[in-house]
Amino acid sequence: KAKAKAQRISCVNNLKQIGIATRIYATDNQDRFPWQVPLLEGGSAEFLAKNKAVEVCAHWQALANELSNPKVVRCPRDGDRLQANTFDQNAPRGAAGRNITPFCTGKPEKHAKGAKSMSYFIAKGADEAKPNNLLSGDRNIEFGTFAKEGKLEPAKHIVFKKKFTTKKTPLWTQGIHEGQGDILLSDSSVQQASSSKLMQYMIDSSDSENEIMFPAGK
């Protein structure tokens, strides 16, 4: 339990660092986050469409300078993730690449494996001007048939909206933080949340769609 508690604190600190990184990025980019900025300007907006879901790693790569270390986007409680040690796309060939675990692997259009480097979702509606909107958080959210306990899911976008039913309610799975989770809001604050609090944060958000970009996993 002590180890789990320490890892939970580390997860919260990761999200705080992500909050600082996104704020620095936004300050330098007219109050926009990477997924709202075109590639030519150093962002990842071209990868925002639902059919680009496997390229969720591109949004994190656009923050590489601000984050500095890919460890920040992996929760220490998340055993289903590779620990990348570079934000680069591929490891160098030969001896130089022997100890390198790249953040994304494969061709730019095929980042399915690269999705295994990150533990956190990204909320499409994150907005520096709307502090209650979700920005990021633990990826292990179940919603209806999506990510049912133990179910392997590809990287995908899920639209939660705000009207929930007993059969379709956002719930943390038991994996990672035992039915709890951590979320980062657009004001850079980090909240430790139960499933009911997670649902309330979605309801309180200014974002009517609550569209979330998840990496692959279970």
If one counts the domains in the chain, the total is 1
Domain that holds residue 99: 2-214
CB 122 within 8 A of CB 212: yes
| Averaged pLDDT, 206-212 | 97
Lowest-pLDDT range of 16-25, 30-39, 49-58, 123-132: 49-58
Q: Phi, psi (5° rounding) for residue 18?
A: -65, -40
Residues 111 and 188: their CA atoms lie apart, in Å, by 28
Cα-to-chain-centroid distance, residue 210: 14
Report pLDDT digits (tens) over 50-63.
988 888 889 999 99
Report the pLDDT value the prediction gives residue 192, as an integer from 0 to 100: 97
**In the chain, % of residues over pLDDT 70:** 95
- How far is it, in rounded angstroms, from Cα 19 to Cα 152? 28
Alpha-carbon distance of 94 to 141, in angstroms, equals: 39
Quick one: pLDDT band at residue 95, thresholds 50, 70, 90? confident
Mean pLDDT of 78-90: 86
What amino acid occupies position 69? N
Q: What is the dihedral of CA 125, 9, 72, 93, to 10 degrees?
A: -140
1-10, 22-31, 89-98: the lowest-pLDDT one: 89-98
Distance CA 7, CA 77 (A): 6
Return the pLDDT at 113: 53
Cβ neighbours, 10 Å, residue 140: 26
pLDDT for 173 equals 93
175-196 confidence digits (pLDDT tens): 899 999 999 999 999 999 999 9
Quick one: pLDDT at residue 111? 55
pLDDT of residue 124: 97
Q: N- to C-terminal Cα distance for the chain?
A: 23
| Average pLDDT score, the chain | 91
- pLDDT digit string (tens) for 106-138? 555 455 555 678 999 999 999 999 999 999 999
Instruction: Identify the band that residue 66 occupies on the pLDDT scale cut at 50, 70 and 90.
Output: very high
How far is residue 202 from each of residues 46, 70, 132, measured CA to CA in Å? Answer: 25, 27, 9
131-179 confidence digits (pLDDT tens): 999 999 999 999 999 988 778 888 899 999 999 998 899 999 998 999 9
CB 144 within 8 Å of CB 167: yes
Structure tokens at 191: 């909240």
